[in-house]
Amino acid sequence: MSGSKSIARTAATGGALDPDFLAWSTSLPIDRRLLEEDCRGSVAHVQGLRAGGLLTDAEADTLIAALQSLPAKVASGEVVLQADEEDVHMAVESWLRQEVGDVAGKVHTGRSRNDQVATDLKLWCRDAVGRLEAQIDAVLTAAQAWASRHEDVVLPAYTHRQVAIPTMAPLWIEGALSIALQRDRALLAGVRQELAESPLGGGAVGGTTLPVDTGVSSKALGFDSPPGNPLDAIGQRDHALLLVFVCARLGLHLGRFSADVIELASDGLVKLGGAIAGGSSMMPHKRNPDLFELVRGQSALRQGELVQLMVTFQGLGAGYHRDLQQDKQVIFAAVDGVIDCLRMIEISLANFELLPEPCLRALVAGDAVATDLCEGLVAGGMAFRDAYGKVGALVAAQRGAGKRLAELDADALKDAGFDPALIDRLDPVRAAKRRAARFGR
């Protein structure tokens, strides 16, 4: 008889589970990923049992040694967890009974799967925060290197997907990517705060009357404290919800940056390296921004996962509900997905370059210096709306002649009724540097 049928059922529960129902309801294919966390949590719980006098030193040592060995044995293939278990927690306990005998029956003393799964998930989420922080840092480092390579490059800033105003490349990538990721990283500190309390000791819903030392177990797992309220400890998933929200927001920010690069590529202002450019199965000349399109598409998945998790929690009362079994698949997908996208953006930053000359041509063609000329008039004392209309008329006249503002020389500017000293305002490079200087760049 499998562990799930003998360990998690009694005569009061009833007969064996219908095999189709067991196969449908098992979470083992998903939560087996929590094996290492489950063993860590069980080791800490054993330490708490020993501190409370519920296990002898010999019993505790036997259990701890076995639990610590299991993840490596599963990874190497030496041990295969039973496939017909309800979840990873029962699979571990079933294996433990086979490994060490009757003493395994004591490992669940004063503990429920409810506080066990809550603990495992918090441990996983805490590790996930560290992985996210590390990958965000890697992207920020790559973005800084990209900015250094393009320190003096001027490109168009867009509004309404049209050339608007000249900007410097370091200012663009900072505003399009780096600052947003820095805010996202800071938000992860809030996730860490919500992970500070250990659920272990919350039991099924009301703790235990046994003298389990939950202070020992929480300290062993790196938590700040044992549970303060058992219902909250086992039933709340606010930390997971906030973590998935951060993943969704990261996805939005990466998607926004990707949209910018796709637009720049379509306008011929960047060159995509062969390492990241996609090809066409039919058109041999194509160099497609596939990486950025996929990252942009992934943003929708992150938003969907956030909604999935919120709807899963909607309407649940205090304490544990089996609905919560569904949260892990969503959380794993959100974290894995956004870490993959961050990694792709990190790779991309070493493999696409701005093209300075096409960028300048786009600025000229788009009359991107019109606002600078307008502000030059304002600086000379003209009312803004008067300057706005005067420059607009000049733009129209130039375009009617098939020309652009930046093509005017000082004499032509004077003939149009402008101070020839304003010729400096028609240089896109100077315009970009002048604006960047206002922000300390």
Active site residues: 160, 280
Report how far residue 35's alpha carbon sits from residue 339's, in angstroms, rounded to the nearest whole number: 21
> Which residue in 46, 16, 149 sits closest to 106, CA to CA?
46
170 within 8 A of 147, measured Cβ to Cβ: yes
Could you tell me how far CA 172 lies from the centroid of its own chain? 22
Cβ neighbors of 168 (< 8 A, separation 6 or more) are 152, 153, 154, 155, 432, 433, 435, 436, 441
Distance CA 184, CA 243 (A): 10
Listed in sequence order, the DSSP H helices in 16-112 are: 19-25, 28-31, 35-51, 57-76, 88-100
Structure tokens at 352: 């696409």
Return d(Cα 310, Cα 133) in angstroms, integer: 24
d(Cα 426, Cα 137) in Å, to the nearest integer?
Answer: 39
Q: Which residues pair with 272 in a beta bridge?
A: 352
Distances (CA, A) of 424 to 95, 371, 376, 409, 414: 78, 13, 9, 10, 13
> Across-strand partners of 352?
272
β-strand partners of 354: 270
- Longest alpha-carbon distance in the chain: 101
Q: Which two tokens stand for residue 205?
A: 């819903």
Q: In Å, how far are 47, 54, 85, 216, 357 from 57, measured between CA atoms?
A: 9, 10, 30, 15, 75
Do the beta carbons of residue 40 and residue 127 sit within 8 Å?
A: no
